[in-house]
């Protein structure tokens, strides 16, 4: 310890008061003696005493006042404290998604384990902030009681994130997704956002059901009992068993699907595969394959069966525009239904959509009137913007209703175009049509009693007729 003796201050002799400064100069203590003349100390006197003994920083005047008030004599009391410098923090990234999704299955309330719905990745949407950089700090300076400045260690900044599928804000801090898809932080530190979910190998219970905002690609087979829900395309290289597939785009099966009567495919686009057995398919686009066995198919475009077999056998298939195949049915006369054109059910749906559109139109008109009332009131009050929560909710609902209105208009226009082609739908068979087949065009039915070849079925004068033969 450094020991410094006091001096005479303001005509009071304080020669016995002692100031101690620690070896590291981070604390100073004061040992006061009782004033000989009985006059009390002042805080100013004690500060001058400390200053004269080298104490310049960190003096606690409150403690000095307490020493005076309590007449704390002959007791070494800490009256000054230095400040230890605080090193700066290194820069870091805050991620707004779960880094390293767990593949641990969930235990359900009944005690069973859900292996099918494990969250193996996290989905993001366009405009979502997925990460933010927290810059390094400089730290805080420290000091000793004798006034020496202590410099902190500055934090180290990190380099910008590398990767793809995102943009960076102007201040270089926020990382914003430009895709609807999955986000993940790779082992090498890259931030990757993609609208393709790649499954290398088979999709089975170890991975579970898939729900994804983009495209899904499976390089292997897909086991029975699973589901794939994708807003984009679904592409599967291997064989698919009884699986439920829903796609906002196309479905492409490089091999095919053995549905076992439970497999289902629903696509906003087209469906393509080498074979389909006991599968239910609904598509807005075309459906194509080498053969269809005991399937139930509905497409709003064409159904085309190609390849060496090119057969539709069993089940029922319906295409709005055209059905093309090489063979319908078989020699065992397995019941097979092929249907094309505008059906009564289609017309019913068209009319129902018109009623839905009228209802949405009415709702939009009401919402627009209500919004206009708020806007008029705001204009009278000379407000630049309307912040009323009710108004904002009306505007939000109005946007949703207008979107629904646009969607219904588009769908009804497509249906209207199809209805305008009523009577022009065809079933074209380049090979053999066996007995047991039922051909339906625009709800008119023809039961095939005798085997025919190279025939095109059309609707003439209200009857399904094998009008055109070709080689």
Q: pLDDT of 140-196, one tens digit each?
A: 999 999 999 999 999 999 999 999 999 999 999 999 999 887 888 988 889 999 888
Residue 334 pLDDT greater than 70, yes or no: yes
Work out the pLDDT band at 468, boundaries 50, 70, 90: low
Q: How confident is the model at residue 111 (pLDDT cuts 50, 70, 90)?
A: low
pLDDT band at 222 (very low <50, low <70, confident <90, very high): very high
Q: Is 264 helix (H, G, I), strand (E, B) or coil?
A: strand
pLDDT of 333 > 60? The answer is yes
pLDDT above 90 covers a percentage of the chain that reads 60
CA 123 to chain centre: 3
CB 47 within 8 A of CB 61: yes
Give the Cβ contact number of residue 406 at 10 Å.
11
Decide if pLDDT at 4 tops 50.
Answer: no
- Name the region of 222 (left: φ>0; alpha: ψ -120 to 50; beta: rest): beta
Q: Does pLDDT of 436 surpass 90?
A: yes
Q: Where are the strands (E) in 139-178, listed by range?
A: 142-143, 149-150, 163-164, 166-168, 174-177
Cα–Cα distance between 122 and 179 in angstroms, integer? 13
Exposed e or buried b per residue across 444-455, where buried means at least 16 C-beta atoms within 10 angstroms of its C-beta: eebebeeebeeb
Q: Provide the pLDDT for residue 469.
A: 63
Residue 11 binned pLDDT confidence (cut-offs 50, 70, 90): very low
Q: What is the mean pLDDT of residues 280-288?
A: 94
Mean pLDDT is lowest, of 18-27, 116-125, 150-159, for: 116-125
Question: pLDDT tens digits, residue range 81-110?
Answer: 999 999 999 999 999 998 876 545 565 676
pTM: predicted TM-score of the whole model, two decimal places:
0.60
Contact by Cβ (8 Å): 291, 268:
no
Nearest to 133 by CA among 165, 90, 101, 164: 90
Per-residue pLDDT at 10 exceeds 50? no
pLDDT at position 13 is 44
Which residues, in sequence order, are bridge partners of residue 295? 315
C-alpha separations of 299 from 134, 154, 215, 235, 292 in Å: 53, 66, 21, 19, 14
pLDDT at 76 over 50: yes
Report the pLDDT value the prediction gives residue 410, as an integer from 0 to 100.
Answer: 84
- For residue 325, what pLDDT band results from cuts at 50, 70 and 90? very high
The pLDDT, as a whole number, for residue 156 is: 96
Tokens 């005479």 belong to residue:
8
pLDDT at 115: 47
């Amino acid at each position: 310890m450094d020991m410094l003796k006091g001096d005479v201050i303001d005509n009071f002799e304080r020669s016995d008061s002692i100031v101690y400064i620690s070896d590291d100069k981070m604390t100073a203590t004061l040992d006061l003696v009782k004033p000989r003349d009985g006059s009390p100390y002042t805080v100013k006197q004690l500060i001058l005493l400390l200053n004269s003994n080298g104490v310049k920083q960190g003096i606690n005047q409150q403690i000095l006042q307490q020493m005076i008030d309590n007449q704390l004599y002959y007791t070494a009391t800490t009256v000054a404290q230095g400040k230890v410098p605080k090193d700066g923090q290194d820069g870091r990234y805050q991620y707004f998604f779960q880094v390293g999704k767990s593949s641990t299955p969930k235990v359900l309330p009944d005690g069973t384990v859900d292996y099918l719905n494990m969250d193996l990745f996290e989905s993001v949407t366009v405009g979502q902030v997925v990460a933010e950089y927290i810059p390094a700090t400089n730290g805080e300076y420290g000091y000793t009681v004798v006034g020496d400045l202590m410099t902190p260690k500055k934090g180290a900044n990190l380099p910008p994130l590398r990767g793809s599928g995102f943009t960076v804000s102007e201040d270089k801090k926020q990382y914003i997704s430009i895709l609807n898809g999955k986000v993940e932080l790779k082992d090498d530190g890259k931030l990757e956002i993609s609208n393709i979910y790649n499954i290398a190998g088979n999709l089975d219970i170890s991975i579970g059901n898939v729900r994804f905002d983009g495209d899904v690609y499976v390089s292997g087979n897909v086991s029975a009992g699973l589901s794939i829900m994708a807003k984009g395309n679904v592409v599967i290289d291997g064989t698919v068993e009884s699986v439920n597939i829903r796609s906002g785009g196309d479905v492409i099966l490089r091999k095919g699907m053995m549905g076992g009567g439970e497999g289902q495919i629903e696509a906003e686009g087209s469906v393509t595969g080498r074979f389909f057995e006991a599968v239910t398919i609904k598509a807005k686009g075309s459906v194509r394959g080498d053969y269809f066995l005991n399937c139930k198919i509905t497409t709003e475009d064409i159904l085309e069966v190609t390849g060496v077999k090119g057969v539709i056998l069993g089940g029922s298939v319906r295409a709005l525009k055209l059905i093309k195949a090489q063979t319908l049915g078989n020699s065992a006369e397995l019941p097979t239904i092929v249907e094309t054109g505008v059906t009564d059910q289609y017309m019913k749906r068209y009319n129902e959509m018109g009623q839905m559109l009228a209802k949405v139109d009415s709702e939009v008109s009401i919402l627009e009137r209500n919004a206009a009332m708020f806007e008029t009131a705001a204009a009278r009050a000379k407000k630049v913007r309307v912040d009323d929560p009710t108004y904002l909710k009306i505007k939000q609902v109005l946007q949703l209703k207008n979107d629904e209105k646009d969607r219904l208009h588009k769908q009804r226009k497509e249906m209207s175009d199809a209805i305008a082609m009523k009577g022009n739908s065809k079933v074209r068979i380049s090979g053999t049509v066996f007995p047991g087949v039922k051909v339906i065009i625009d709800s008119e039915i023809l039961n095939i009693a005798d085997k025919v070849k190279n025939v095109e079925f059309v609707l003439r004068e209200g009857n399904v007729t094998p009008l055109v033969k070709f080689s």
